[in-house]
Amino acid sequence: MSAVTDTARVAPATNPISQSFRDSMVVAKRNLIRMSRIPEMIIYGLIQPIMFVVLFTYVFGGSMQIGSSTSATDYKNFLMAGIFAQTVTFATASSGAGIADDMHKGLIDRFRSLPMARGAVLTGRTFADLVQTGLTLVVLALVALLVGWRVGSDGNTNAGKVLAAFGLLLLLGYAFTWIGALIGMSVRTPEAATSSGLIWLFPVTFISNAFVDTSHMTPWLRHIAEWNPFSATVQACRVLFANPGQSTSAAWPMQHPVWASLIYSVLIVVVFRTLAVRKYRSATA
């Protein structure tokens, strides 16, 4: 009797990077579908930045001094870069709350039982939050145009520079969502994630050049504001939008805001993604 030997088919080795990307996109799709089925998440996310635009424009406009000007129009154009940056960073709180909610409901444990890349759950969540942040920025830019914001109000700009400014804003928002991811993995409830997220977000956004000219601050506070990563992105956007408030400070981030914004955001992603994924692995080990 002759034996028939079947040649075993050896499955090609899976590229870890491509597998991680595919897994991340699956999780991102899941979160985007979830967001689309709960439209109030997007609606409420839009109300706060729109309120900031209206309140700061009409309540504080004309009483704020930008350089030597107290013009309400100058302040309006000065303000919008700060409002845009604040909006993308405040998405951190909802990101952290969403991850904490998934942990609380045991969804992370279910993901753990699947053959997927360990960091894909958090990466997918941050990608989904980035898409939501992008949609929010589009709506907010339209509202800003309606209240009178204009690019090129203090110099020359072009479409490429404007798109680059929004790209820096999205990069900053993506970087900060990793901080939110780490917070979400470190607390027990979504409420705690939201509260702990806002506690540090308010100092970061208000001790900055977002709403006031830092030249009017006391020296020690001005130095903190000028080296704030948030301020670098705001200043970069003002330069690219050609809006008032382009700083004459000697601080390196204010002299090279575009490079400072890129460096800060990339460093935040690298550091906090590493910490968040490590926390995820230890939490589900």
Rounded-to-integer distance, Cα 83 and Cα 211, Å = 8
Is the confidence at residue 46, as pLDDT, over 80? Answer: no
What is the band of 263 on the pLDDT scale with cuts at 50, 70, 90? very high
Grade residue 70 by pLDDT with cuts at 50, 70 and 90. low
Residue 7 has pLDDT above 70, yes or no: no
Q: Worst-scoring range by mean pLDDT, 39-43, 127-131, 224-228, 238-242?
A: 39-43
Where residue 9 falls among pLDDT bands split at 50, 70, 90? very low
pLDDT computed for residue 61 by the predictor: 67
* CA 156 vs CA 243, 244, 256: distances in Å: 9, 12, 18
Q: How confident is the model at residue 65 (pLDDT cuts 50, 70, 90)?
A: low
Mean model confidence pLDDT for the chain: 83
Place 212 in a pLDDT band, splitting at 50, 70 and 90. Answer: confident
